[in-house]
Structure 1
Amino acid sequence: MEPPLLSRILEAALLAADQPLGADRLLALFADAERPTRDEVHAALEALRGDCAQRAIELVEVAGGFRFQVRREFAERVSRLWEERPPRYSRALLETLALIVYRQPITRGEIEDIRGVGVSSSITKTLQEREWIRIVGHREVPGRPAMYGTTRRFLDDFNLKGLDELPTLAELRDLLQINAELPLGDAPDPGGDAAAVRGESPEDESPEDESPEDESPEDESPEDESPEDESPEDESPEDESPEDESGVAPGHNPPNDAGDESGEEPSDVPAPALAGADRG
């Protein structure tokens, strides 16, 4: 078969197909008597790729085979042909997908250990409905939890021929810097551990976080013991001088000043629960 005719047949098949076509499926288009060799098919595909150099479409090879697609610079305008808006995915879903991509095969419990929060069943369900992940086996531990891995559909949708085309972790920014800019995890469920969302252990919680609730400076003054109630009848002029200098009644101990200062710090630094709510 002449190369120009072979290229046109392959072009027609790729334009009509609703999914990428591999070399085996393209070879199946021909009868035994006229079937080209695999090398001839690849040569014809390369010729088609060159013909598309100045066109709005391009011929690309993904994990599932070859396909025509609109060039990226025209994608925004072409997308206006469809009224439906593209789905938006939560950060929790994208983090879960990233862990499956880079750590596969991985179990749901291992994902939760890394992220520090639970993985909702709706997240794995959505990823499976999109055909981006699948169960590839079960971990041989008590309970035999399912292990997840990516699919060929994932590679096709992300324009990849294989996982080796993904950037390595060494090429990404330092993980600590990423955590500082985009803290991992979603807002905790009601009653959940907010410190776990921030990646902190319970031991890391400082007494300052509890001071506004347990003993706030406002609760101790002015009702309980105010400087005005203790002077001037009970105190001598000598006792009033320290009060004028420090602003604390003689019955108070100096360490309470440090407690007042620590009670003001949470107003400048968001509480763990508020930090988690912002991410929700």
Structure 2
Amino acid sequence: MSNTDLYIEALIFSSEQSLRVEEIAYCLQAALEQDISIEQINKSIDSIKEKYQDENLAIELIKVNNGYQFLTKKNFHQVISLLQSQRSKKKLSQAALETLAVIAYRQPTTKTDIEQIRGVNCDYSIQKLLEKELIAIVGKSEAVGKPILYGTSSLFMDYFGINSMKDLPHIKELITDESSIGEATE
């Protein structure tokens, strides 16, 4: 493999989307300060493709959307989809975490109660938490309009590695001198 091949391989590998030959040419010409022909880039791409046809490698170079991208080989797709599915269930935004904390400590609770504590609309966070099955609808309140009550699910306990709601940290344990505002008075 030539140095040009290595630069092209690095460019394609580091790109989140498919990389067109023209983009590769622009980057190489700007970085290496020399003219590199489209024909030379295509030869390098063919060389890289050949390198990744090895059965002992899990990725291959594929032409996608008029550009090139490294993708996992098809026989690994089932394993990769499981990982992606698992990771998508684990990622929570700060807003979702805050909403989940309110529900966990105040359950069963209504959307209005959560919004009063957080000070913002919680529709999206509640929807995402329901989709991820970390919370569940546990009934309806007797308050005016009979609003929906939310509580945590059994998946919530798996996600956070706890056996019961008693395992949640007590509020007093979470408050430290560093998290308090102002001076303490006796």
Q: As a proportion of its length, which structure holds more strand? A: 2
- TM-score, normalisation: structure 1: 0.32
Higher alpha-carbon Rg: 1
